């Protein structure tokens, strides 16, 4: 194997007895090259183990052949699924992903956006995050952009979102159907749109069933386990009776389940729980957690499909991604 750094397009040209232009043409494939030279070039490339210099390419062509992906806190399983979907669809497109992480901090996110832009990403996928929408709207003017998990009216066509409202509705409805009447909702952070929508879905299901929405049964959580624990404590203090809990994500469901365990309240015998997200661990909670599954992989696939379309200047499709319920063992029928 020869030095990867040193072999240039000129070397290939020499070896194949053609000009650099011709080599470039077989590399990019957007101009005809006579068969014999084509193979000679390919042969030379393989023999010398040539890899094009990405900087020279970027500089000359103005394209980076990368898609910037702005993520938040990569560790969340749901984001991971989205990323997986994105990667799947990017394969073989010629584009490769470049990541930058916002870590849910506006400062870091701004920084990450700059990094991506500086790297001349040909397209941008922004997953969630807390960037002011003005920033995103501005960004969308400069570069093809797909926003995942947020809905921004001004650039609605660029946004891809799960149906959180429907998910909240579904979860609550399931509980009602199982005979529950006093249903707690541990919400997400209510400054996040998705959290609000899940809450709205919850309310709708209640109303539709002729049940009153009782503020005393609603507690705002923080999308993490600890806030699930706290929510139960708050609920106990309030003293309002309840037989089921809808937590706006699985992590809070976990916390709630633990808090219940601590108080000697059995799940699902005494209290039922339904979560949201269907993260991998949830299937192994004790008892396995009934939850709402989001088509995260599909969402990711759609995101990269769309960004590719956008780059090509073609039309994009705005699909909706319906949530569905995954029944396991944390919900019982109330008699």
Partner DNA sequence: TATTGTTTTGAAAGCGCTTTCAAAATACCT
Partner DNA sequence: AGGTATTTTGAAAGCGCTTTCAAAACAATA
By C-alpha distance, which of 290, 225, 215, 287 is closest to 252?
Answer: 225
Cite the DSSP H helix spans in the chain. Answer: 9-16, 20-28, 35-48, 54-61, 77-90, 106-118, 133-142, 164-177, 193-208, 225-238, 250-262, 296-312
Is there a contact between 334 and 179 (Cβ–Cβ < 8 Å)? yes
Q: Which is nearer to DNA, 26 or 183 (CB)?
A: 26
**Distance linking the first and last C-alpha atoms of the chain:** 73
59 binds a second copy, rule: CB under 8 A = yes
For 125, the token pair is: 């996928």
Query: Which residue in 199, 201, 194 sits closest to 169, CA to CA?
Result: 201
Give the contact letters, 266-295, x = binds to a second copy (CB under 8 A), - = no: --------------xx-xxxxxx-------
Sole binder of DNA in the list 14, 42, 52, 204 (CB under 7 A): 52
Q: How many residues bind a second copy (CB under 8 A)?
A: 49
Does position 31 interact with DNA (CB under 7 A)? The reply is yes
CA of 333: how far to CAs of 127, 250, 284, in Å? 37, 21, 21
Angle of the 296-312 helix axis to the 77-90 helix axis, nearest 10: 40
User: Restricting to residues 141-170, which ones interact with a second copy according to CB under 8 A?
Assistant: 142
Q: Pick from a second copy, DNA, none: which does 17 bind, CB < 5 to 8 A by kind?
A: DNA
Size of residue set near DNA by CB under 7 A: 30
Residue number with CB closer to DNA (114 or 266): 114
Rule CB under 7 A: say whether 2 interacts with DNA. Answer: no
Among 2, 29, 34, 208, binds DNA (CB under 7 A): 34
Residues 34-53 that bind a second copy (CB under 8 A): 51, 53
Question: Is residue 24 part of the contact set for DNA (CB under 7 A)?
Answer: yes
Q: Which of 120, 133, 203, 204 binds a second copy (CB under 8 A)?
A: 120
Q: How far is CA 168 from the centre of its chain?
A: 18
Q: What DSSP string describes 27-85? A: HH--S---HHHHHHHHHHHHHHT----HHHHHHHHS---EEEEEES-TT-HHHHHHHHH
Alpha-carbon distance values, 289 to 218, 227, 254, 256 (Å): 20, 18, 9, 12
**CA dihedral of residues 168, 169, 172, 174 (deg, nearest 10):** -120
- 54 is an interface residue for a second copy by CB under 8 A: yes
Binding piece for a second copy, criterion CB under 8 A, among 109-117, 147-155, 158-166, 234-242: 109-117
Quick check: 30 binds DNA (CB under 7 A)? yes
For DNA, the binding residue among 2, 4, 21, 286 (CB under 7 A) is: 21
C-alpha span between 245 and 271 (Å, rounded)? 7
The residue among 53 and 111 lying less far from DNA, judged by its C-beta, is: 53
Q: What is the CA radius of gyration of the chain?
A: 26
- Shortest gap between Cβ of 230 and DNA (angstroms)? 51
Stretch that binds DNA, among 11-19, 106-114, 159-167, 255-263 (CB under 7 A): 11-19
Binding interface with a second copy (CB under 8 A) = 1, 4, 51, 53-59, 64, 73-77, 79-80, 83, 87, 96, 98-99, 101, 114-115, 117-120, 138, 142, 225, 228-229, 251, 254-255, 257-258, 261, 280-281, 283-288
Which residues form the interface with DNA (CB under 7 A)?
5-6, 8-10, 17-25, 27-28, 30-34, 37, 50, 52-53, 56-57, 59-61
């Amino acid at each position: 194997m020869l030095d990867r750094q040193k072999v240039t397009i000129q070397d290939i040209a020499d070896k194949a007895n053609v000009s650099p232009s011709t080599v470039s043409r077989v590399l990019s494939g957007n101009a005809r090259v006579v068969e014999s030279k084509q193979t000679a070039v390919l042969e030379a490339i393989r023999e010398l183990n040539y890899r094009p210099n990405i900087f020279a390419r970027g500089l000359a062509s103005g394209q980076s052949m990368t898609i910037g992906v702005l993520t938040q806190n990569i560790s969340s399983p749901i984001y991971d699924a989205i990323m997986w979907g994105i990667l799947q669809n990017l394969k073989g497109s010629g584009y490769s992903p470049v990541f930058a992480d916002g870590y849910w901090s506006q400062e870091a996110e701004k920084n990450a956006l700059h990094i991506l832009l500086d790297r001349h990403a040909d397209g941008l996928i922004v997953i969630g995050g807390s960037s002011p929408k003005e920033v995103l709207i501005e960004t969308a003017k400069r570069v093809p952009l797909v926003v995942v998990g947020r809905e921004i009216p001004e650039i609605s066509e660029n946004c891809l979102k799960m149906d959180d409202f429907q998910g909240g509705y579904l979860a609550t409805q399931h509980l009602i159907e199982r005979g529950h009447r006093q249903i707690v909702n541990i919400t997400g952070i209510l400054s996040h749109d998705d959290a609000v929508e899940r809450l709205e879905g919850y309310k709708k299901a209640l109303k539709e069933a002729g049940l009153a929405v009782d503020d005393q049964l609603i507690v705002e959580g923080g999308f993490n386990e600890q806030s699930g624990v706290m929510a139960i404590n708050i609920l106990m203090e309030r003293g309002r009776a309840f037989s089921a809990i809808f937590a706006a994500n699985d992590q809070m469901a976990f916390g709630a389940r633990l808090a219940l365990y601590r108080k000697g309240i059995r799940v699902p015998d005494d209290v039922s729980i339904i979560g949201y997200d269907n993260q991998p661990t949830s299937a192994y909670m004790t008892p396995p957690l009934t939850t709402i599954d989001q088509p995260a992989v599909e969402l990711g696939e759609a995101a990269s499909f769309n960004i590719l379309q956008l780059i090509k200047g073609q039309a994009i499709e705005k699909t909706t991604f319906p949530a569905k319920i995954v029944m396991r063992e944390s919900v019982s029928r109330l008699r």
